[in-house]
Amino acid sequence: MRPTLARINCSNLKYNYLNIRKKVKNSRIMAVVKADAYGHGMIKCVEALNSLGSRQPDYYAVSILEEAVELRKSKVASQPVLVFDPVGYEEAEYFKEYDIIPTVFEEAHLGYLRRIPSKGGKLKVHVKIDTGMGRVGVRFDEAYNFIKKIHDSREFIIDGIYTHFATSDESDKSYAFLQLSRFNDIIERLKSDRINYGLAHASNSGAILDMPETYLDMTRPGIVLYGYYPSLETSESVRLKPVMSVVTKVTNVNLIDKGQSVSYGRRFIAQGKTEIASVPVGYADGYVRALSNKIFAIIKGKLCPQVGQICMDRIMFDITGLKVKANDEVILLGKKNKLKIDAWDWSRALNTIPYEITCGISKRVPRIYM
């Protein structure tokens, strides 16, 4: 078997979750497990979180219907499951069949759901409100009338209303607070007119860390569940541990002379006699080509620079003087004693965020749950 694998530390996942629950106090939690739990493996992560008994998440959220159906078929979660993407014409029947909550924000979405025969009971929906993200949702200045129309129709149960912040992970939270004000205005008007809107939720990872005013009825932790702060501008008010580490082994060691090169394009030229470790990982695994000559691995207790162009299936490291041999461990993401490499190290090299790093570890890297 190929030695490259991603270790998923379920104890760290539960540690992060319990610290989040302590932070948000009495607010319910909708654990976001979209994109295969940000690359960590949705089913196993839900299974781990649900092992917490009375402290387990109150809801789960995914991005697309297929993820929700997979979660329902696995039978690891009986909690309500919300799909963030709006319901489509050909998808409507599956929401009823699998007891999944759709997101609605247009009359068309309600029409798709009405055409499916009722199976004894009203269908629960969550209404997405665009308070300034500018992506999807009913406009905040039109939201009250839309919600009231659903309420008055008595065909659906409004189980929740929600919005999403555009800047909660930035140091300047003024726009996020403007969005919150718009959302709160809608809530207060609905309360005043005794319109039941279910659970109001708005707080994503950045807001959980820095905006307790946003907790409302329910919070939606995403990247923080998996051990990363959403940006370098948020506080670290919740203690977190990375859940994923990526490890592999050296396959062989080559000795090259001064002036010799490594890999495609000769992007690395040896300045003297150099020992090169060859490792069976590449951009097909999520170790993207743009990391070439910019990143390190932990080998023999040392940070060793990656050298040469990253290939589809292979990368190389300078291990000169370390007496490295075949089958020695290589830590690509993770820690060893006081040394660590995390998704922020890759993110800085790529000018991106940890979300993209963990989601990008491909399916051909087996997940091992610990």
Find, among 178, 141, 145, 138, the residue nearest to 162 by Cα.
138
Helix (H), strand (E) at residue 191: helix 174-192
User: At 79, which amino acid appears?
Assistant: Q
Cα→Cα distances 124→95, 113, 154, 194, 287, Å = 10, 11, 11, 18, 41
Lookup result for tokens 């309360």 = 191
Judge whether 223 and 38 are in contact, CB under 8 Å: yes
- Strand ranges, E, within 222-295: 244-249, 252-256, 261-262, 268-269, 274-279
User: At 188, which amino acid appears?
Assistant: E
Which entry of 73, 89, 149, 264 is annotated as an active-site residue?
A: 264
Please tell me the distance from the alpha carbon of residue 267 to that of residue 39, in angstroms, as a whole number.
31
Residues 248, 295, 297: CA angle, nearest 5 degrees: 30
Strand-strand pairing, 199-203 and 156-162: parallel
Q: Which of the 8 DSSP states describes residue 118?
A: P
Lookup result for tokens 């409302």 = 216
Token pair for 295? 């990143």
Q: Which residues contact 310 (CB under 8 A, 6 or more apart)?
A: 263, 282, 283, 287, 288, 289, 291, 292
Cα→Cα distances 74→68, 78, 81, 240, Å = 10, 10, 13, 28
Find, among 6, 12, 8, the residue nearest to 225 by Cα.
12
Number of neighbours of residue 267 by Cβ within 10 angstroms: 14
Which entry of 14, 34, 124, 249 is annotated as an active-site residue?
A: 34
Q: How far is CA 186 from the centre of its chain?
A: 29
Would you call 347 helix, strand, or coil by DSSP?
helix
Active-site residue, 249 included: no
Active-site residue, 98 included: no
Positions marked catalytic:
34, 264
